[in-house]
Every structure is written in C-alpha cells, then in structure tokens.
Structure 1
Amino acid sequence: MTEQNLANDNRKALDGVRKLDQAAILLMTLGESDAAEVLKHMGPKEVQRVGTAMSQLSDVTQEQVEGVVQLFLDEVGGRTSLGVGSDEYIRAMLTQALGADKATGLIDRILLGGNTTGLDTLKWMEPRSVADIIRNEHPQIQAIVIAYLDGEQSAEILQHFNEKVRLDIMMRVASLDTVQPAALQELNDILEKQFASSAGAQQQALGGVKRAAEIMNFLDSSIETELLDGIKDIDEDLGTEIEELMFVFENLVDIDDRGIQSLLREINTDLLKVALRGADNRLMEKVLGNMSKRASELLRDDIEAMGPVRVSDVEAAQKEILTIARRMADAGDLILGGAGSESLV
C-alpha cells in the first residue's frame, strides 16, 4: 500500500468523527505536559468543551488516532486504549495547565457531567433553559445566578427576559458585593442540589460594577444600549461607572502595537473587514499600520470594494473580535486598553 493510500485510509477512518472529538484524540496522544501547554492558550469555554470530549472518549481505534495525527501533524502515529482510565490523565493535565485552584471546579464539571451540583450545573445548560429555571424566582436569586455564571452565558440568559426584568437584574448585579453562604445554600436548595462547600464557608465575592460591565460587553448592541440607558435613568453615576469599565470595539485603538499584531493573527480576514466597515479612522489606521504593506493594501481594497453590509452583521463581527480579545487578555497574551483599563507601572 502506498504512503498516499495509507494517508487516505487514515482520513477515511475519521468519517463521522466530530472536529471536537478529533481535537480530544489529538490531545490524548500528546502526553500531559504538551497537552497542558496547548490548553494554556485556550479560553475557559474551549477547555471545558475539549475536556468534556476527552472524558467521553471510548473505543478509539488505532486508525482514528493515526488519521487525526495525519490530519493535524502530517505524520502517522498514535496510541491505543484511549479513553480507558482517562480520568486521572485529565485531572493531571488540567491541573498542570490551569493550576490547582482554577482546575478543581472545572475538573469536577468535566468528569461528573450531569451529576455536578448547584450553581455549577447551570454552566452546562442552554441559556434559555437557565432563564426558564430562574424566571419565577426572586430577583435577587436571579441576580446571584447571573453574577455567578460566565459573562457570555449570562448575557445570553438575559436576552430571554424582557427589558424591565433585565434592568432590575443588572441593577442588582452591579450592587452585589459578597454573598452569604446562606444565600448560596438557598439557591442550591431551589435547584434541588446540595452545595458541597457551603458549610462553614466564608462570604463569596460576587457581582459588582465590574462584573456588570463584563456581562454588558456580551449583550447585543441594541440590548446593551437599552439596558445602559435604563440604568442611567435610575442611577446616572452607576450607569457612567459601568460604561467606563466596558470594553467596546473602539477601545481596540488603545491596545499597543504588539498586542494588535497578536490579535490580528487570531482573526480571520473576512471577519476583520466586516468589523472594520463600521470603525472610525483612528482604529482603521491602527489596524492597517500593524499589517504588512501588501496585506494592508489588500484589506483596504477589499473594504472599499464591499457592497452594503447590514449593521447587525458589522456589530456581530465586532462582538466576535472583542470575544477573542478578551480571551487573549484572560490568558495574559494581551493587555486591553480603554477607559476601564488599569495603569501599568
């Protein structure tokens, strides 16, 4: 059998195997140290998705392993018996990648799946389902849930409430500081789960103006504007404080050149040209100035040659780029500028 035929057979072995499972198989072949290095460059959501896929691997064939390696590394290789006794591997790898503190909760959610308890259970549910669960609860309970969950998920949940409820929840989120263990216990009782660490627990920092701003960043632009205006109508100083902490697309101009160059390497050109269609001249020149002359000329020509683009498409592209920027900032690969950024010394 020729090398080409072998490669084709390896790729055929991947028919029906999801891309996510392919990524999981690849990480399982790397070994703990190398896999941990890869995971360090992923955001929390990506680590959760890949980690869950890894924990669910079973009956992985030698051909599938070789197909994945052939596809991603252009080499033939792999291991057998993947998915057998993989829990300890995942624990060791995620702990090395994220550190013990960050990894503990994530490991439990990945390995326990549907058996996780309390608030953490909600992290694995669709936003609409979470909204349905808390819809008839006290507004303070709703605020605790929204403040506790990932900002992007919280924003998606809020979109399933009407304007009045959204406003009430966000006002409460911004006013939160710490939450008593009894409040968390009550919430977990409502969810029919036992919060394992509630007994003797200290107050937990939750919510606040910064958290409110983070959630607002993930909302659709129309809802974001509507909600911010509503907050200002009730408390102008609070609304202004939240607004100053928000990181919007125009704030990308305040990122240093090295940061912009790193960000551009993570962004698809088609996405970038749609997003820049709605950008001001300062940001446009900032981006073009950090590209090669050839690349900047091509991008400028592509933007000028574009036909009409819907505002919603521009806003969606800008939101996607902001999500990438925040993920890189969380990983320490980027320092976000803007009104809400901290000074460096």
Structure 2
Amino acid sequence: MAEENAAAPAPVDKKNLPKVSRTEAAAILLMSLGEADAAQILKHMGPKEVQRVGTAMSQLRDIKQEQVEVVTLEFLEAVGGQTGLGIGADDYIRAMLTQALGEEKAASLIDRILVGGNTTGLDTLKWMEARSVADIIRYEHPQIQAIVVSYLDPDQAAGVLSNLDEKVRLDVIMRVAALETVQPQALQELNDILEKQFSGGSSTKTSKIGGVKRAADIMNFMDSSVEGEMMESIKEVDADLGSEIEDLMFVFDNLKDVDDRGIQTLLREVSSDVLILALKGSDDELKEKIFKNMSKRAAELLRDDLEAKGPVKLSEVETAQKDILTIARKLADAGEISLGGAGEEML
C-alpha cells in the first residue's frame, strides 16, 4: 500500500538544464543506448550525419541524468506518431519489381527510381577524408577532377580543393562552374578511376551536375585566404563568371537577410560557444539581429559573454562562422529555413 500511495516523481524542470542542439541530443541518445544499438542506428545515417553526431558524442561532458531523461522523452514524443512504413523501402521496391518484371526488365527501371542506383563509386568517396579523395584524383584529367568535386558535398569538395595545387584548384573550380551534364564517356573514365561499375544502363545516361551555383557553394567552404586568392584568379580569367559566383555565395553577413523565424530555428541548432566566437567577427547590425530573436535573458547573457570574451584568433572566428553557415545550409536544404539574399532564388 505504501508503494501505491507514493508520490509520482516530479517532472524534470527543463529550464534548469543546459540548452542542447538537435545534434547534441542525438549524441546523448546514442550514448545512452549502448554500443550495439547505437551502431545499428549509425548504419542508416549518411557520412556527414555520422561525422556530426560522432563529433558531438566525443565532446559530451558531465551530462546529468535529468538531461538524458529529457532527451529520451522528447525522442519518444517525436516518434510516437510515426509508423514503420518507408523503412527498408529500397529493398522492398527492388524485390517487388524483380519478382513482377523479371531481373533483366526490372534492372533499368530500378536504376531510374532508386536514387543513387548508378553512383555507388561516387557515394563511396563521400565517406573518405578530403585529403584521401584529393590523392585519388590528383593526377587525373581536370575534367574528371571537376566531376568528382561537383558530386561531393560542398564542404568536403572545398577540403579536396584545398589539398590540390593552387593552379589545379583554379582550373577545377572553373570547370565546375561550366559543368551542366556529364557525358557517358566522362562517366566511364570515372568508373575506371574508382574501379567500380555503375549498375545497369549508366553507359547511356547523362547526369546533371556542377554549375555556377555549385561552384559558389564550394567556394563558401574554402578558407577565407584561399577563397580570396581563387576569386581574384577567376576574375582575371573571366570577370563575368567571377562576379556571378560572388553574387551566389552566401556568407556569414548574409544572415541579416534571413527572417526572424529562420534565425530562431538556426539558433536552436547552434551551441553558445560557437555563436560567441562567430559574433566576435560580425558587425553590430548582425549582432542585434541575433539578440532580438532570443529571449531577453538569453540575449543579456550573450551580450555579457561577448564583452567578457577576450581577443580571439581570426581563424577561430572564421571556423565558427563556417560551422554556423553549414548548419544554416542544411536547414535550408531541408526546407526548414529560407536563406534569402545572396545565392537564394526568390519565387
């Protein structure tokens, strides 16, 4: 009877717990699951997701039991209304079509409807370090280098370019900007480099890849000093192209053009330490934009932290700003925010 009359545990007060981003919440959840279960979840993530979550896991320190409980409860609430439909859909579709049409007839149809069916070799590169990818393509034809760089995520592509010679970087980024479709012959060369075969029918396909916007996205992730040198070199070769790339680039200062709701969404994903470093290198207008999209108390704390923060290296500020821009672009790609301003088409 005593147990039945015992008072229920008091709900956790979230206000007294440190704010965590979604990535940090995922890291906490995975760490609480154990190695085997966490490994099964990581198998279903892409390379960038694994890298982000893995980094967050390695940085976890002194996580309170209450924080784990909050993260777990929020996760259960989020998935409570979901079903298992869609999980393993690729395998189901492949088996269904093969059974209905036969292996030969189904092969070409499967490649058309399952994204990535003819890019296995390129997808493998996304799991590699930028330096390793650069080593693989270092002595290949610049057009092949451009195709590889165009296919990679912009931040990884920037890392690959940074590991190539200066003259090669310029040639490759110019070719990326000029790319629209890749002919079968170029894809076949790429197959030879990767020592893999694209599945069914790739010899008759062309793929849309590259373009000026892609070049601008890659340039966004270059170190500022390298980016500046490359932009000058591009303008020397083709002034109009340089201006077009420059217009499409989205830099930290362009966050002023993001609407208030977008800024609030972005701030939920950014840790305080990174935000403080990034704002050390921004002007008052952008700072005020950030402050007004926070609670009064949070804004006051941020102001105090900025004033208390001593001098920091320019490289640290640039790294923090690029980290925030990476999150902003991912949110924009997911349709959660609209970047607006440079690089964003308004309909």
State the TM-score, normalized to the length of structure 2: 0.71
Q: Is 2:172 the counterpart of 1:169?
A: yes
Match of 1:85 in 2: none
| AA matched with 2:237 | I
Match of 2:37 in 1: 25
Does the 8 A contact of 2:275 with 2:320 survive in 1? yes
| AA matched with 1:242 | I
Query: Is the alpha carbon distance of 1:171 and 1:332 closer, same or farther for their aligned partners in structure 2, counting shifts above 3 Å?
Result: same
Cα deviation for residue 219 of structure 1 reads 1.3
Alpha-carbon distance in 2 for matches of 1:283, 1:243 = 20
Cα deviation for residue 191 of structure 1 reads 2.0
Query: Is the alpha carbon distance of 1:259 and 1:71 closer, same or farther for their aligned partners in structure 2, counting shifts above 3 Å?
Result: closer
Match of 1:63 in 2: none
- Pick aligned residue for 1:191 from 189, 194, 198: 194
Does the 8 A contact of 1:249 with 1:318 survive in 2? yes
Q: Is 2:52 the counterpart of 1:45?
A: no
Query: Is the alpha carbon distance of 1:247 and 1:93 closer, same or farther for their aligned partners in structure 2, counting shifts above 3 Å?
Result: same
Alpha-carbon distance in 2 for matches of 1:177, 1:338 = 24
- Pick aligned residue for 1:296 from 286, 294, 299: 299
| AA matched with 2:262 | G
| AA matched with 1:25 | D
- Pick aligned residue for 2:155 from 152, 156, 159: 152
Alpha-carbon distance in 1 for matches of 2:198, 2:32 = 31
Cα deviation for residue 292 of structure 1 reads 1.3
Query: Is the alpha carbon distance of 1:306 and 1:199 closer, same or farther for their aligned partners in structure 2, counting shifts above 3 Å?
Result: closer
Cα deviation for residue 151 of structure 1 reads 1.2
Match of 2:266 in 1: 263
- Pick aligned residue for 1:253 from 253, 256, 263: 256
- Pick aligned residue for 1:123 from 110, 126, 129: 126
Query: Is the alpha carbon distance of 1:262 and 1:298 closer, same or farther for their aligned partners in structure 2, counting shifts above 3 Å?
Result: same
| AA matched with 2:295 | S
Q: Is 2:212 the counterpart of 1:209?
A: yes
SS at structure 1 position matched to 2:160: helix
Alpha-carbon distance in 1 for matches of 2:32, 2:132 = 24
Alpha-carbon distance in 1 for matches of 2:253, 2:86 = 43
Deviation string 1:80-105 (CA, Å, 9 cap, x unpaired) is xxxxxxxx995249999xxx999945
Does the 8 A contact of 1:95 with 1:103 survive in 2? no
| AA matched with 2:72 | L
Alpha-carbon distance in 1 for matches of 2:287, 2:277 = 12
SS at structure 2 position matched to 1:155: helix
Cα deviation for residue 123 of structure 1 reads 1.8
| AA matched with 1:338 | G
Does the 8 A contact of 2:176 with 2:211 survive in 1? yes
Cα deviation for residue 234 of structure 1 reads 0.8
CA RMSD in angstroms comes to 3.7
Q: How many percent of aligned residue pairs carry the same amino acid?
A: 61
- Pick aligned residue for 2:238 from 226, 235, 239: 235
Q: Is 2:88 the counterpart of 1:91?
A: yes
| AA matched with 1:168 | D
Q: Is 2:342 the counterpart of 1:339?
A: yes
Match of 1:66 in 2: none
Does the 8 A contact of 1:184 with 1:198 survive in 2? no
Match of 1:221 in 2: 224
Query: Is the alpha carbon distance of 1:43 and 1:295 closer, same or farther for their aligned partners in structure 2, counting shifts above 3 Å?
Result: farther
Match of 1:58 in 2: none
Deviation string 1:172-212 (CA, Å, 9 cap, x unpaired) is 11111111122101210222211224445332111110110
- Pick aligned residue for 2:288 from 280, 285, 288: 285
Query: Is the alpha carbon distance of 1:21 and 1:309 closer, same or farther for their aligned partners in structure 2, counting shifts above 3 Å?
Result: same
- Name the count of aligned residue pairs: 279
Cα deviation for residue 70 of structure 1 reads 6.8
Query: Is the alpha carbon distance of 1:101 and 1:250 closer, same or farther for their aligned partners in structure 2, counting shifts above 3 Å?
Result: farther
| AA matched with 1:73 | T
Unmatched tracts of structure 2, length 5 or more: 1-28, 54-67, 77-84, 94-109
| AA matched with 1:286 | K
Cα deviation for residue 117 of structure 1 reads 4.0
State the TM-score, normalized to the length of structure 1: 0.71
| AA matched with 2:169 | R
Match of 1:309 in 2: 312
Alpha-carbon distance in 1 for matches of 2:112, 2:69 = 33
Query: Is the alpha carbon distance of 1:22 and 1:214 closer, same or farther for their aligned partners in structure 2, counting shifts above 3 Å?
Result: farther
Cα deviation for residue 134 of structure 1 reads 0.7
- Pick aligned residue for 1:140 from 119, 139, 143: 143
Cα deviation for residue 120 of structure 1 reads 2.4
Alpha-carbon distance in 1 for matches of 2:91, 2:319 = 32
Query: Is the alpha carbon distance of 1:312 and 1:233 closer, same or farther for their aligned partners in structure 2, counting shifts above 3 Å?
Result: same
Alpha-carbon distance in 1 for matches of 2:50, 2:86 = 15
Query: Is the alpha carbon distance of 1:297 and 1:23 closer, same or farther for their aligned partners in structure 2, counting shifts above 3 Å?
Result: farther
Unmatched tracts of structure 1, length 5 or more: 1-16, 30-34, 51-68, 78-87, 110-115
Cα deviation for residue 304 of structure 1 reads 1.2
